[in-house]
Amino acid sequence: MCGDIEDEESLAEEFYAQFAEHAHIFLSKLTVPSSHGDEAPLYNHLDALFRSALKSAAQPEDAAETVSGYERLRMEPLVYARIAGFMAAHQPLEEDPLRRLIEALMTGYAEGEDMISEREHVPSDHHGHTH
């Protein structure tokens, strides 16, 4: 029974390690948008904010020693969702902030799935298995 708990903890940390690896690869592939016209400063700010948050989430040393990487992977999205909800509540309803939040959430989910799919199709020591 004790071995089962250790196996579960090991598997959970593998999920976090995979996330951290994918986050670093994803960040390295991101390009700075060449131009957004008059809105370039805003988009540059948003891009920097995204990069900073993702980089922080993928750095195990950014959390207390007693918090595992998997615990962070499982719970930190809730913090960002809470912040997004709080900010959305302060926007006019005619801007449809909930729809924009859901679209952004689904974009991020698709990007994460793409990283997993790409990884599963790359030959590795694990013979294509990442789970």
pTM above 0.75, yes or no: no
Confidence band of 31 (pLDDT split at 50, 70, 90): confident
pLDDT tens, position by position, 87-127? 999 999 999 999 999 999 999 999 999 888 887 765 544 44
- The domain locations on the chain are 2-30+39-120
Q: What is the pLDDT of residue 24?
A: 93
Q: What is the pLDDT of residue 129?
A: 44
pLDDT tens, position by position, 68-88? 888 888 999 999 999 999 999
Q: What is the pLDDT of residue 13?
A: 86
Instruction: Compute how many other C-beta atoms are within 10 angstroms of the C-beta atom of residue 57.
Output: 21
Instruction: Compute how many other C-beta atoms are within 10 angstroms of the C-beta atom of residue 91.
Output: 13
Half-sphere exposure of 62 (CA within 13 A, CB side): 13
Q: What is the pLDDT of residue 124?
A: 45
8 Å CB contact between 101 and 88: yes
